[in-house]
Structure formats: C-alpha cells, structure tokens
A and B are shown apart, each in its own frame.
Chain A
Amino acid sequence: MSGLAGLAALRRGPSLRVLPLATVLGVATLVAAGARSPVRLEPELSWSAPSWAHPLGCGEGGVDLLALVAHASLRAVLLAVCVALVGFVIGCPLGAAAAVARGRLERAVARACDLVQAFPTFLLALVVLSAVRSPSRLDLGFVFALTAWAPFARLALAQTRVLRDQAFVEAARAIGVTPARVVVRHLVPNLLGIVAVQLGAAAAAVVVSEAALSFVGFGARHGVSLGVVLDQGVSAMLRAPHVLLVGAAAVFVTSVSLMAAGRAFDPTFARKARRN
C-alpha cells in the first residue's frame, strides 16, 4: 500500500519538478564514477568534435568534455546547495528576530537586505579572493555565503510581519516565553515552507556566479568548473563551436534544474499550511 502511495506522490507536481535536477545529478554521477578523467590531456585530440569515444567532444589539450562537464556540475551543485543552506540557516532566524524586535532593528535589517541583495557579489568576491593565493572551493563558498543570507532574511522578515500579530504568538508571549524562544520554536517553523522556495533560486545563482568567476579567471585552482568550459569555448569559438555550446548548455541546464527543484517546496508546504 505504501508503495502505491509513493507512486501517487511521484505523479504529483512537486516530485516532477525535482526530476530535471535528479536527472542531471544522476547522469553526472554515472559519468564521474566511470573511468573518464576531467584533467587527463590527450593533445592529439585537441578541440576534436563529438565522437563515439568522446560523446561531447574534446576541449583544449584534448580534455574529455563529458567528464569535465560532469565533474564540474557535480561540484557546482554541491557548492551551491551548501551555500544556499548556510544562507537559509542564517537568514531565516535573522529575519524573524528582526521582525519580532520591530523598530530600528527591523528597519536596519530590511535596509541591509536591500543593499546586500542588490550588491554586486562579483566585487565582494574579488575583494576576498584577491587576498588568497589561489582560491579553493571553501573560499568561494565563504564569499557566496557573505551575501546568500539576504534574500532568505528578507522573505522571513516579510512573513514574520504577518505572523507576529497572530494569536499563537501572543499566547506564547503571555505565558512568559522569551522572545528568543518565540522566534526559534514558534516563528521559524512556520516560515520554513515559504522561505525554502528561495533555496532553488539561491543555489542557481551560486552556480552561475561560480561559473562566471572561473570564466573570468578567478575560479578554483584545479580548473574543473563550468566556467572553464565556457572560457575554452569562447577562445576557440570559430574552430570548435561544440565546446562553447556544451559549456553554455551545461550552465543553463544546471541552474534551471536547481531553480525548478526549488519550486518543488512550493505546493508541498502550501498544502501543509492549508491543512493546519
């Protein structure tokens, strides 16, 4: 019976929205687990077009593009999900606490969200990365986390403004629950569903930023990144257009599938909210 219920759940909207991401991750994992290496060079195959041996063709120095794209998108998604979760964990309580505190703190947090959200992440990344010799993935994650909390905090703030005057919050206050506990036990659980929708968009933004950074030459040192594929593609645009197309398609598919997966939280939690 439970299997049938699972099947029925699979057919409903939310899981369909996870499908693109699941496909991307599945294919990438299969390829990455195989024998192909994203760093082995075969100079005689430089810029060669797609063939049976190399389904996506080869890039600069004969690197196998299929392996490169698979490894790069796996790493990008991992980084993006970590950053989005960090932003979620910081931003959600921050926004809720600010809305509960009201007054000056609330305005300050709202203004900070506005600024940070509109701020060129690129510049911040340059500032921090310029101080390290060759950036690692941890450095990149740190840079993106610096600004990732803002959209979550903003959403949590807006939602808490609605929730803070409701009876259950007032009741909790009336029986002497401390404000901190009100935020953690009563407000944040009620925010999760709505704020979680932002996870997908935040993760997709990280994927694109990471690719853009390595495209302009600020990437992680090992050179396994979607931006590197694009960089190679641009430099050999007329000679080997397949490299450019593969890179652009990989960035597009990875970011859009993350965005779609984020939307999966939408109806699930909306349904739950209706039931309560």
Chain B
Amino acid sequence: MDRRGRGPAPLGGVHADPRSSGGGLAKSKRVAGAVLGRLAEAALVVLALATLVFLALRLLPGDPAALVLGDQSSEEERAVLRGKLHLDEPMWMQYARFVRGLVTLDLGESVRRPGASAAARVLDAVGPTASLASLAVLLGAVIGIAAAVLGAGPWLGERRHWVDRIATAIAATPLLAFAPVLTFALDARLRVVPLPGDPEAGAAGLVFASGLLALPLAAHVARVSRAALDDVARAQFLGVARAKGGSHARVLWLHALPASIGPIITVVGTQLGALLGGAVVLERLFERRGLGTLILEAYASRDLPVLEAAVVFSGALFVGAQQVAAAIHAAVDPRVRR
C-alpha cells in the first residue's frame, strides 16, 4: 500500500507530553483554546472563500449587470439592477455590506425570483444535499472498513489480496465514468433502481445515489484503513490481546480498529471536497434537488446573489465538516492532541 503521502511516524514514548500532568482547569482551558483556534481557522477559510467570490464577480472584466440582463438590455435597466445589487457603491462599502450580510445570513434577494431571499433558497436546498452526502459518508466508511477488516483477517485466505486490488481499481476509476454506466446497467436491463430524473424516486433514489457516491470513498477508506491495520498489527497490545485468547474478529474489531481510526477519519476528511463535487455531478445526473442543482441553476441564469450565497454556504459546510473530522480525530486518538 502506498504510504509515501504520510509524514514520518512519531517516535511514541520517547518524549512524554509535558501538558498531560496539568490539572482539570488547565485542561479545560486547553480544550477551549483548541476549540477557539478551530473556529477561528474555519471562519478565516470561509471569509477567504467569500472574499474570492466577492472579488471574482467585481474585479474580473465585464459588467455583472450586463451578465445578468444580457447584451440586449438598455443602460437604464442595467443602472437599476446595479443599484439593486449595490454595484454602484465604492468597493469598500460593497465589501462591508457583503461581510455584514455573511454574518447576518442576509445576502440579498434572488434576481430571478423576486421576493425570495438568496439565503432562504440556499437553506431550502441544503437538506437534500446534506442527506445525500452524510449517507454517502456513512456507507463509504462502513463498506470501506468492512472491506479492510476482510482484507486484513484470515477468513479469505489467499483471496484476500483481491480486496486490495478491487479497492485500488475503484479508487482509480472516476465517479463520472462509472456512475452513469452503473445506472444504465441497473436501469435498462434490470429496472431495479429509479431512472434519472424520476420525481417519484424518493428514498430508493437517495440510497442509490449515495451508494454511488460512497463507492470511491469506500475504496479510499479501505486502502487507508488496511494500511493502518497493518501498522497496528505489529503493536504489542495486539499480541497481548491474541495471547489472552481473543478471536481474530474480536482482536480486529475491538483492539486494532479503534487504534487505527485516526487515518480513517483523516481520509474521510480529505475526500469531503471530492464528495461535494461528486454530489453536484450526481444531482445533475439524477436531476435531484440540492445545493449542486441550485448552484448550476443560479449560474445558468446568472442569479448572482443566489450563486454567491450557495457557493459560500457550501464552502462553510465543507470547512465545518472538515473541522468536525479533525475534532473527532483528536477526541479518539490522544496522540494528535497538541
């Protein structure tokens, strides 16, 4: 398995953590500091993304009002829209207004649907995407870990190398290539899954879409957790657990897996971005409602406030999920608490 990407292994036990002897107060202070640090970092990243969105629409050549209204629009119409989007104000005032809007969740009104606020439309679309992505993470983690345990255990004999090979093959295959083909195969021949764009798809559609989304994630999780399990397998406490008479399954599930949970969570964290991109593709493929379709729709109709809000919100969602992953990692593995 490829382990080049990881840093040098920490020399466990050589230098003891000087802070581990602190009292309860010091500990809670440390935890609060860590939480604040995470929050500050997350806020900074979201602000950076939001600023990029802000600048891209205003500094790149071309008049946003002309983009929205098209080339045939008159100068008066454009001026009205510019006033409505506050594009006629000086740049710093626009930016101040934009940042205030971020904090108060008020990013203006949809250009295409008067009366609907951009934030409301985004919040409306979050539900489907969030359920798609979280179900995919759950499925991916469960399938990936199960595959890794199967590959590390003795049950499959020599055939267990096939688990690695299959995982590598899936990890190398782009979702864009296999998702439509798999859908076609299961649709046209077997009719077991709902057709793309079927409004009646409901729960079956959600499960199928998140299953597709989970496959690459499961492959990555399987590869990483397999490597982590192999690392842990050399540790002494596993030998002790085996010597006490634990079965292979018990040793793997109860002793080895918790010790190797860190890399698994990390890989889920690093795959979140790809997952979000995949969610956009799948929402487009199945014509599902969600953040992806909202962004595409806002892009196609140049609904700038909605586009800004949706992109910033997805970015915030992503950063938040990543920080949660890091926090879980720190909670289960005392070695990364620093």
Interface residues of A (CB under 8 A from B): 114-115, 117-124, 126-133, 154-155, 158, 161, 208-209, 211-212, 215-218, 227, 230, 233-234, 237-238, 241, 244-245, 247-249, 251-252, 255-256, 259
Q: Bound complex: CA of A247 vs CA of B272, how far in Å?
A: 26
Is there contact, CB below 8 Å, between A131 and B62? yes
A226 to chain B, nearest CB (A): 9
Q: When each residue 241-277 of chain B gets 1 if its CB lies under 8 Å from chain A and 0 otherwise, what string results?
A: 0000000000000000000000000000111111011
Interface status of B236 (Cβ within 8 A of chain A): no
A259 with B172, Cβ < 8 A, contacts A127-B53, A237-B187 known:
yes
Query: Are B62 and A133 within 8 A (Cβ)?
Result: yes
> Which of B181, B276, B304 contacts A248, CB < 8 Å?
B181
Please state if B280 and A122 are interface contacts (CB–CB under 8 Å). yes
Kindly report which residue of chain A lies nearest to residue B41, judged by CB atoms. A111
Q: Are A123 and B176 in contact (CB under 8 A)?
A: no
- Scan B62-92; emit 1 where CB is below 8 A from any A CB, else 0: 1010010000000000000000000000000
Task: List 25 A–B pairs whose Cβ atoms lie within 8 Å, in order of A's numbering.
Answer: A114-B270, A118-B273, A119-B273, A120-B272, A120-B318, A121-B273, A122-B280, A123-B277, A127-B49, A129-B299, A130-B299, A130-B302, A131-B62, A131-B67, A132-B60, A158-B7, A208-B176, A209-B277, A211-B174, A217-B296, A217-B299, A233-B180, A245-B184, A252-B173, A256-B173
Interface 9-mer from B11-19, B220-228, B307-315: B307-315
Most chain-B CB neighbours within 10 Å: which of A233, A237, A255?
A237
Closest chain A CB from B291 CB (angstroms): 10
Q: Do residues B274 and A120 form an inter-chain contact, with CB atoms below 8 A? A: yes
Closest chain A residue to B291, Cβ basis:
A123
B interface residue count range (under 10 / 10 to 19 / 20 to 34 / 35 or more): 35 or more
B86 → chain A, closest Cβ, in Å?
A: 17
How far is it, in angstroms, between the C-alpha of A73 and the C-alpha of B288 when the chains are bound?
A: 29
B103 at the interface (CB under 8 A from A): no
Residues of A within 8 A of B280 (CB): 122, 212, 216
Cα–Cα, bound, A128→B49 (Å): 11
Q: Which residue of B67, B173, B296, B311 contacts A216 across the interface (Cβ within 8 Å)?
A: B296
Question: CA of A266 to CA of B169 in the docked complex: distance in angstroms?
Answer: 19
* Nearest neighbor of B188 in chain A, beta-carbon distance: A238
CA distance A188 to B299 in the complex (A): 41
Minimum Cβ distance to chain A for residue B32 (Å): 21
Which interface residue of A124, A131, A248, A251 has the most chain B CB atoms within 10 A? A131
Question: How far apart sit A241 and B53, CA to CA, in the bound complex (Å)?
Answer: 39
Shortest beta-carbon distance, B49 to chain A, in Å? Answer: 8
Does B45 lie within 8 Å of A115, measured CB to CB? yes
Q: How far is the CA of A244 from the CA of B188 in the complex (A)?
A: 12
**Listed residue (A115, A122, A211, A245) with the most chain B CB atoms within 10 angstroms of its CB:** A122
A123–B311 touching, CB < 8 Å: yes
Bound CA span A118–B185, Å: 31
Query: Which chain B residues lie closer than 8 Å to A122 at the CB level?
Result: 273, 276-277, 280
Known contacts A127-B52, A234-B196, A237-B184; decide if A252 and B177 are in contact (CB<8 Å). Answer: yes
Query: 7 closest Cβ contacts across the A-B interface?
Result: A122-B277, A120-B273, A131-B60, A252-B177, A208-B174, A120-B276, A248-B177
Q: Which residue numbers of B lie inside 8 Å of A, CB to CB?
A: 4-5, 7-8, 45, 49, 52-53, 56-57, 60, 62, 64, 67, 172-174, 176-178, 180-181, 183-184, 187-188, 195-196, 269-274, 276-277, 280-281, 284-285, 292, 295-296, 299-300, 302, 304, 307, 311, 314-315, 318, 322
Cβ–Cβ contact B277 & A248, under 8 A = no
Complex alpha-carbon distance, A118 and B266, angstroms: 11
Q: Cβ of A217: which chain B residues have Cβ within 8 Å of it?
A: 284, 296, 299-300
Residues on the A chain within 8 Å of B8, using CB: 161
Q: With both chains docked as a complex, state the minimum distance between the C-beta of A20 and any C-beta of chain B, in angstroms.
A: 12
Q: Which residues of A contact B307 (CB under 8 A)?
A: 126, 130
Interface on chain A toward B: helix, strand, loop, or mixed SS? helix
CB distance from A152 to the nearest CB of B (A): 12
Are A123 and B276 in touch, CB under 8 angstroms?
yes
- Asked if residues A211 and B176 are in contact (CB atoms below 8 Å), the reply is yes
CA of A4 to CA of B60 in the docked complex: distance in angstroms? 56
Q: How far is the CB of B94 from chain A (nearest CB, A)?
A: 15
CB distance from A132 to the nearest CB of B (A): 7
Contact B172 A244 (CB under 8 A): no
Question: In the complex, are the beta carbons of A241 and B184 less than 8 A apart?
Answer: yes
Given A126-B311, A259-B172, A237 and B180 contact (CB-CB distance below 8 Å): yes
Q: Is the CB of A126 within 8 A of B276?
A: no
Contacts of A123 in B (CB 8 A): 49, 276-277, 311, 314-315, 318
Query: Which residues on the B side are within 8 Å of A117 (C-beta)?
Result: 270, 273
CA distance A244 to B270 in the complex (A): 30
Q: Are B318 and A127 in contact (CB under 8 A)?
A: no
Q: Which residues of A contact B271 (CB under 8 A)?
A: 118
Give, as a whole number of angstroms, the nearest-CB distance from A64 to chain B: 21
Cα–Cα distance between A124 and B8 once the two chains are bound (Å):
32
Report chain A residues within 8 Å CB of B300.
Answer: 217
Residues of B close to A127: CB separation below 8 A? 49, 52-53, 56, 311
The smallest C-beta distance from B101 to any residue of chain A, in angstroms, reads: 17
Q: Is the CB of A244 within 8 A of B315?
A: no
Contacts of B4 in A (CB 8 A): 155
CB-defined contacts of B281 to chain A, threshold 8 Å: 212, 215-216
B285 A234 Cβ-Cβ under 8 A: yes
Query: Shortest distance in angstroms between B65's beta carbon and chain A's nearest beta carbon?
Result: 13
